[in-house]
């Protein structure tokens, strides 16, 4: 619009200004009006169809070529016959010709006394030429601008009086040697005087020249970075072919050739034009932005041959052609992005006319262009445009270099002369130009680009052309995994890599979702989390069920904000699936080192012993795999992530040194908002002969070096006689074990037993009681020799700390109900589990055994059972330790206990479960922890 308003139709201006200071604002308002009109016309042309744009493109191209040729021709002609293009100078300072209403570049003129005006030679203000009686010296309009009156003895500006007014040729020609003067840079600040030469002439005036003087002042601060930003948009048309690749017959062939030719052509034209202008035009005229020193005449048009109108018309059509290309290519690019659904809120712009023309995208493009027109100032818009183009080119180069460096199999560039170093160099140059042009615009552009990328990544856009950053992530992950494979992590780098075992019900719902909540509260460990489940069945038929289970677990992970992976295994048996999962989870050095599973709730009342046997089997598997184990008991009572913070304590009962898991887990939990306000207390157990005071000091010193804040307390356990309650609990445990062995019959066996009893047969049991009695006696004899090896006991080591070993426990049923009230239920269990004759008759009645049927011999044996002495001692230890824990930690928010290992002999599994129940009885929230055999915390970190 600047060309149209200033050079083609200056009389078509709508806005005028009576004051010189308002002329720039009036011109910008005119540009806004006419720019909007031309934008509307070009948008309508593009809306009609791209074929009409292509037809006009040939006309526009011909005009541009003629304009370029005329410039080259005019530069060559100026070497022999330079055009007359005078510039008025006062000393070294350029004078605005708009201020010279009489068009006289002189201080005074000699006129004939009989003639009004006759221009004579310039008067320099210091020496008067000889006068004839018929000549009269008169002052000019320039004199009036610098002096207070038109008289020769008026007071004038000092610089005006001390310097001559001269005329210089603004275009001295190619052979003038002016290129030596223009070879060096000359940048100015806003408000500086436009002067000839790089060094301004110092003024002796006390104040800086006022803006009311007819000097030309710089309207914008110039620098190399600013000029790069202004110049760069002129060479951004090289991607026009790529933007219209959908309209090309053979895009793979046309785009590389066309783009390279466009780059070469524009580079040659612009660089040669810069050299020619510097070799033909005075520097003071080149820096005159609006041509005020030559009355706004077009410098390039004056230099061109044969007429300035060639340049005016060619430049106008060139800008129109560039606008049409932008309005043609940008909507198609926007439509492609919208159709790919990369940015969901742009989906509406993917629609268009029936022939595929991007109607809605064209409207958005026109709206954005209108914003640039309303800004009006090219100096303000150009750096912003440069940022967008440079970002585009930067990411194109980055994508090419990245795909090559990653050696992606599907990256097969057809261009023969491509090398990744060229793309990398282009990326670096684009990044440098961004900061050279405007560092603050560059930062803003990079922030916007990052936000757009994260938005796309968040919405999970994925198309068949893939994502280069994902390829980079794959390569980085592969490299990191290979590095991790070199050896086990150092203790200071240990972090919990969790395998969370969950169980699904018949409707594919997670039975204990709070297990995952608990795992999320350990996220301060910044470790790997794998959520796994096992589906029993045949993989050939249960694949769909497996996918549904994975989706259920993923949704639960999103709800609990757990970042990790899901692993669903289909196996014929639950135990086999858990074993496969423990063995195969993870990859390389990123394998789980800890297992989280739930406590089998109500295992005593469960007729199917597989629930708690699977639990014990999993404990054995984790021990064999040297994995740590965490078993939250009463998991339904654990807090959710949305519950408010509460004060209290996390109590750690450190009975066995398991590598520091008991120390590290409370620290990680306290990083979460749920546990942040809880304090930490550490209890250790000593006997009477131990030095409790020294043990407390040593433990406090150890915690100090670990940089863990916690209260320390040493609890002394007194040796005491075995109480009748302990004896009764042991008796109940062994009677229950014997009873379960007698009652382990399938439903058909029970039906047959009831039928035989109804016929008054002598033997009511399908299994001979004598065989059961003999088997039990054999096991009892074996247990005497294997007590120390296969069952749990309390041992006092050389540090006088009690250690629980081999009380026994194992696998996981993820459905810990945890709602049982321990304090009241303990007494009830003691009554119901004690074996009496009345209880035998009650059980027989519940089993539908007729009263006429005699009591099985195996049941009669239970009435005469005497508890094993080693079991009595173990029960005594568990009961006494439980009493101490309940006494100290009954109000704790969470209690962490060492989880003893399971017995080697599976015959003691039921006793092991009973020991754990007794150990944790009366505690609301318990976390049983079993170390993996390696140190996980150190003072050297």
* Alpha-carbon span 638 to 926, nearest angstrom: 9
Distance of CA 584 to the CA centre of its chain: 30
Question: Strand pairing of 86-90 and 93-94?
Answer: antiparallel
pLDDT at 617: 92
* Residues paired with 147 in a beta bridge: 156
What are the distances in angstroms from CA 145 to CA 142, 206, 230? 5, 18, 35
Based on the fold, state whether residues 688 and 798 are members of the same structural domain. Answer: yes
Question: What is the domain range of residue 509?
Answer: 493-596
On whether residue 124 sits in a domain, the answer given is no
pLDDT at 789: 35
Based on the fold, state whether residues 375 and 395 are members of the same structural domain. Answer: no
pLDDT at 852: 44
Based on the fold, state whether residues 333 and 437 are members of the same structural domain. Answer: no
Based on the fold, state whether residues 260 and 377 are members of the same structural domain. Answer: yes
CB–CB of 74/281 below 8 Å? no
On whether residue 901 sits in a domain, the answer given is yes
Top-confidence residue, 387 or 376? 387
pLDDT at 333: 83
* Alpha-carbon span 287 to 289, nearest angstrom: 6
Domains contained in the chain, number:
4
Mean pLDDT of 756-776: 36
Task: Please report, rounded to a whole number, the percentage of residues in the chain having pLDDT higher than 70.
Answer: 75
Based on the fold, state whether residues 910 and 822 are members of the same structural domain. Answer: yes
Structural tokens at position 522: 């350990």
On whether residue 752 sits in a domain, the answer given is no
Based on the fold, state whether residues 288 and 425 are members of the same structural domain. Answer: no
Residues, the chain, total?
Answer: 941
On whether residue 831 sits in a domain, the answer given is yes
On whether residue 346 sits in a domain, the answer given is yes
Q: Is the peptide bond before 447 cis (omega within 30 degrees of 0)?
A: no
pLDDT in tens, 826-846: 333 333 333 344 544 554 455
Based on the fold, state whether residues 834 and 893 are members of the same structural domain. Answer: yes
Q: Which of 280, 312, 263, 275 is nearest to 10 (CA)?
A: 312
Give the distance between the most distant pair of CA atoms in the chain. 167
Based on the fold, state whether residues 282 and 334 are members of the same structural domain. Answer: yes
Of 335, 356, 384, which residue constitutes the final position of a domain? 384
Q: Which of 719, 767, 763, 721 is nearest to 742 (CA)?
A: 767
- Predicted TM-score (pTM) of this structure: 0.56
Confidence of residue 533 (pLDDT cuts 50, 70, 90): very high
pLDDT at 113: 59
Structural tokens at position 282: 């005075």
Of 354, 384, 414, which residue constitutes the final position of a domain? 384
pLDDT at 254: 83
pLDDT at 751: 47
Mean pLDDT of 562-578: 92
On whether residue 875 sits in a domain, the answer given is yes
pLDDT at 485: 63
pLDDT in tens, 463-492: 545 556 676 777 777 777 777 765 567 777
Residue 400 pLDDT > 80: yes
How many degrees, rounded to 5, is the angle at CA 906 between CA 901 and CA 908? 75
On whether residue 532 sits in a domain, the answer given is yes
Based on the fold, state whether residues 447 and 502 are members of the same structural domain. Answer: no
Based on the fold, state whether residues 545 and 638 are members of the same structural domain. Answer: no
CATH number where 517 lies: 3.40.50.620
CB–CB of 734/867 below 8 Å? yes
Confidence of residue 340 (pLDDT cuts 50, 70, 90): confident
Top-confidence residue, 108 or 732? 108
Of 596, 615, 637, which residue constitutes the final position of a domain? 596
Task: Please report, rounded to a whole number, the percentage of residues in the chain having pLDDT higher than 90.
Answer: 17
Residue 118 pLDDT > 90: no
Q: Residue 718: what are its φ and ψ, rounded to 5°?
A: -85, 145
Mean pLDDT of 249-273: 85
- The least confident of 377-386, 587-596, 638-647 is 377-386
Based on the fold, state whether residues 794 and 883 are members of the same structural domain. Answer: yes
CB–CB of 294/286 below 8 Å? no
On whether residue 137 sits in a domain, the answer given is no
Residue 735 pLDDT > 50: yes
The enclosing H or E element of 648 equals: strand 648-653
């Amino acid at each position: 619009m600047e060309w149209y308003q200033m050079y083609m139709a200056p009389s078509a201006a709508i806005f005028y200004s009576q004051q010189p200071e308002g002329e720039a604002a009036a011109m910008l308002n005119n540009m806004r009006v006419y720019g909007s009109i031309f934008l509307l016309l070009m948008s309508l042309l593009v809306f009609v169809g791209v074929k009409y744009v292509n037809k006009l493109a040939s006309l526009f191209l011909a005009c541009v070529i003629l304009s370029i040729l005329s410039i080259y021709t005019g530069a060559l002609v100026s070497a022999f016959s330079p055009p007359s293009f005078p510039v008025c100078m006062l000393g070294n300072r350029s004078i605005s010709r708009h201020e010279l209403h009489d068009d006289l570049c002189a201080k005074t003129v000699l006129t004939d006394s009989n003639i009004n005006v006759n221009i004579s030679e310039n008067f320099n203000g210091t020496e008067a030429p000889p006068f004839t009686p018929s000549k009269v010296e008169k002052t000019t309009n320039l004199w009036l601008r610098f002096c207070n009156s038109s008289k020769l003895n008026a007071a004038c500006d000092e610089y005006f009086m001390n310097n001559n007014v001269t005329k210089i040729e603004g275009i001295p020609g190619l052979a003038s040697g002016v290129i030596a003067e223009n070879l060096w840079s000359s940048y100015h600040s806003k408000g500086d005087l436009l002067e000839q030469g790089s060094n301004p002439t110092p003024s002796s005036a006390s104040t800086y020249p006022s803006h009311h003087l007819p000097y030309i002042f710089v309207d914008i601060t110039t620098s190399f970075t600013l000029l790069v930003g202004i110049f760069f948009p002129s060479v951004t048309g090289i991607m026009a072919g790529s933007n219209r690749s959908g309209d090309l017959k053979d895009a793979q062939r046309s785009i590389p050739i066309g783009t390279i030719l466009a780059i070469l052509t524009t580079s040659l034209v612009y660089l040669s034009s810069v050299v020619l202008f510097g070799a033909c035009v005075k520097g003071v005229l080149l820096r005159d932005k609006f041509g005020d020193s030559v009355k706004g005449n077009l410098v390039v048009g004056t230099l061109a041959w044969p007429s300035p109108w060639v340049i005016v018309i060619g430049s106008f059509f060139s800008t129109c052609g560039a606008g049409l290309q932008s309005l043609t290519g940008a909507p198609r690019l926007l439509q492609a992005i919208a159709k790919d659904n990369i940015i969901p809120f742009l989906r509406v712009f993917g629609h268009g006319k029936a022939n595929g023309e991007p109607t809605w995208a064209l409207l958005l493009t026109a709206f954005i262009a209108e914003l640039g027109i309303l800004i009006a100032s090219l100096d303000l818009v150009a750096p912003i445009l440069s940022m967008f183009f440079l970002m585009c080119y930067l990411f194109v180069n980055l994508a090419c270099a990245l795909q090559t460096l990653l050696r992606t199999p599907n990256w097969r560039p057809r261009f023969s002369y491509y090398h990744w170093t060229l793309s990398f160099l282009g990326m670096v140059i684009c990044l440098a130009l961004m900061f050279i042009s405007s560092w603050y615009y560059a930062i803003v552009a990079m922030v916007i680009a990052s936000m757009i990328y994260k938005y796309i990544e968040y919405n999970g856009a994925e198309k068949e052309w893939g994502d280069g950053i994902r390829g980079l992530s794959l390569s980085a992950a592969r490299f990191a995994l290979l590095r991790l494979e070199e050896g086990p992590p150092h203790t200071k780098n240990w972090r919990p890599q969790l395998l969370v075992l969950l169980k699904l019900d018949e409707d594919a719902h997670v039975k204990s979702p709070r297990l995952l909540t608990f795992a999320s509260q350990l996220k301060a460990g910044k470790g790997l989390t794998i959520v796994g489940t096992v589906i029993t069945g045949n993989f050939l038929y249960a694949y769909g069920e497996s996918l549904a289970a994975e989706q259920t677990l993923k949704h639960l992970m999103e709800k609990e904000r757990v970042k990790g992976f899901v692993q669903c295994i289909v196996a014929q048996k639950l135990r086999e699936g858990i074993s496969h999962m423990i063995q195969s989870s993870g990859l390389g050095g990123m394998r789980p080192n800890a297992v989280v599973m739930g406590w089998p709730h109500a295992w005593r009342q469960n007729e199917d012993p597989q629930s708690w046997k699977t639990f014990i089997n999993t404990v054995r598997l984790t021990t064999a795999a040297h994995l740590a184990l965490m078993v939250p008991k009463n998991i339904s009572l654990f807090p959710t992530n949305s519950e408010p913070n509460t004060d209290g304590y996390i109590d750690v009962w450190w009975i066995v040194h398991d590598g520091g898991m008991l120390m590290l887990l409370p620290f990680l939990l306290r990083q979460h908002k749920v546990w942040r306000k809880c304090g930490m207390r550490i209890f250790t157990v000593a006997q009477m002969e131990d030095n409790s005071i020294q043990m407390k000091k040593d433990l406090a010193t150890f915690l100090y070096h670990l940089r863990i804040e916690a209260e320390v307390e040493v609890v002394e356990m007194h040796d005491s006689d075995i109480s009748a309650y302990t004896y009764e609990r042991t008796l109940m445990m062994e009677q229950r074990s014997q009873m379960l062995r007698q009652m382990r019959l399938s439903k058909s066996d029970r039906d047959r037993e009831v039928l035989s009893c109804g016929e008054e047969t002598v033997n009511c049991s399908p299994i001979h009681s004598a065989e059961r009695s003999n088997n039990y006696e054999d096991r009892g004899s074996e247990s005497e020799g294997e007590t120390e090896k296969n069952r749990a006991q309390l041992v006092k080591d050389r540090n006088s700390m009690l250690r629980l070993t081999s009380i026994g426990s194992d696998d996981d049923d993820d459905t810990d109900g945890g709602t049982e009230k321990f304090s009241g239920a303990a007494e009830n269990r003691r009554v119901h589990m004690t074996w009496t004759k009345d209880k035998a008759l009650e059980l027989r009645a519940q089993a539908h055994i007729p009263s006429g049927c005699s009591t099985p011999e195996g049941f009669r044996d239970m009435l005469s059972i005497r508890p094993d002495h080693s079991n009595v001692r173990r029960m005594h230890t568990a009961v006494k330790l439980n009493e101490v824990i309940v006494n100290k930690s009954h109000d704790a928010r969470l209690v962490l206990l060492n989880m003893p290992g399971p017995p080697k002999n599976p015959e003691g599994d039921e006793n092991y479960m009973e020991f754990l129940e007794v150990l944790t009885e009366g505690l609301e929230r318990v976390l049983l922890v079993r170390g993996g055999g390696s140190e996980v915390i150190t003072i050297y970190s």
